[in-house]
């Protein structure tokens, strides 16, 4: 059984009200396979808005050291969003985060590879359901938040993030 959930969604200043200028959702992540934690609890909180998009990318491509979907599958930060004219948004943050590598040995299997080399094979449909559920949790958090007001510098990148999300998720945002 695979569990992939944001466990405490909040904005960066989680002791304060939702700031319309804060574009990034954060949360610790419960990521387990058959009761084995794939992200240690001490890993902390991640920018789950970026992580959700990166996870959605793994539905159609692998996340490997040679061809990552983002610098980290679970980035600490994701505060810079850029529309560089490509189909996907570019998200930059700090150099901190956590990786679980995602490969596809065949059409029915997703292999999750931890940094220590430990590997777990998951049914591709179970992976897809877990990723979509994770993304849906994050999206619902945004839907109940104050309307976001990106700066002029972030507006195009923020719009690109949600455009890519909608395309990859296949549902209205």
122-154 residue pLDDT tens = 999 999 999 999 999 999 999 999 999 999 999
pTM over 0.85: yes
Q: What is the mean pLDDT of residues 29-41?
A: 92
Q: Structural domain of residue 49, as residue ranges?
A: 2-169
- pLDDT of 40 reads 79
- pLDDT of 140 reads 97
Q: What is the mean pLDDT of residues 31-38?
A: 95
- pLDDT of 13 reads 72
Q: What is the mean pLDDT of residues 169-173?
A: 67
- pLDDT of 6 reads 97
> What is the rounded CA–CA span in Å between residue 124 and residue 71?
23
- pLDDT of 41 reads 72
41 vs 132: which has the higher pLDDT: 132
- pLDDT of 34 reads 95
- pLDDT of 16 reads 66
Contact between 121 and 109 under an 8 Å Cβ cutoff? The reply is: yes
Kindly state the tokens that stand for 75: 């980035």
Task: Decide: helix, strand or coil at residue 92.
Answer: strand
- pLDDT of 173 reads 46
Please list the residues that pair with 74 across neighbouring strands.
98
Write phi, then psi, for 43 (nearest 5 degrees): -65, -25
pLDDT band at 171 (very low <50, low <70, confident <90, very high): low
Radius of gyration of the chain (CA): 15
Q: What is the mean pLDDT of residues 85-96?
A: 94
Q: What is the mean pLDDT of residues 80-91?
A: 94
Residue 172 pLDDT exceeds 60? no
Q: How many domains does the chain have?
A: 1
**How does 31-50 read in b/e, with b if 16+ C-beta sit within 10 Å?**
bebeeeebbeeebebbbbbb
């Amino acid at each position: 059984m695979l569990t992939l959930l944001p466990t405490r969604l909040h904005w960066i200043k989680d002791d304060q009200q939702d700031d319309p200028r804060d574009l990034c959702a954060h949360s610790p992540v419960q990521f387990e396979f058959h009761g084995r934690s794939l992200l240690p609890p001490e890993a902390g909180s991640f920018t789950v808005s970026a992580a959700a998009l990166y996870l959605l990318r793994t539905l159609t491509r692998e996340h490997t050291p040679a061809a990552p979907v983002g610098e980290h599958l679970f980035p600490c930060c994701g505060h810079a969003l850029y529309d560089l004219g490509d189909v996907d948004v570019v998200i930059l943050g700090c150099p901190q985060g956590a990786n679980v590598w995602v490969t596809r040995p065949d059409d029915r299997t997703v292999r999750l590879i931890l940094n220590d080399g430990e590997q777990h094979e998951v049914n591709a449909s179970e992976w897809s359901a877990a990723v979509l559920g994770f993304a849906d949790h994050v999206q619902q958090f945004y839907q109940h938040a104050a309307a976001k007001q990106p700066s002029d510098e972030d507006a195009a990148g923020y719009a690109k993030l949600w455009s890519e999300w909608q395309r990859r998720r296949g549902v209205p945002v």
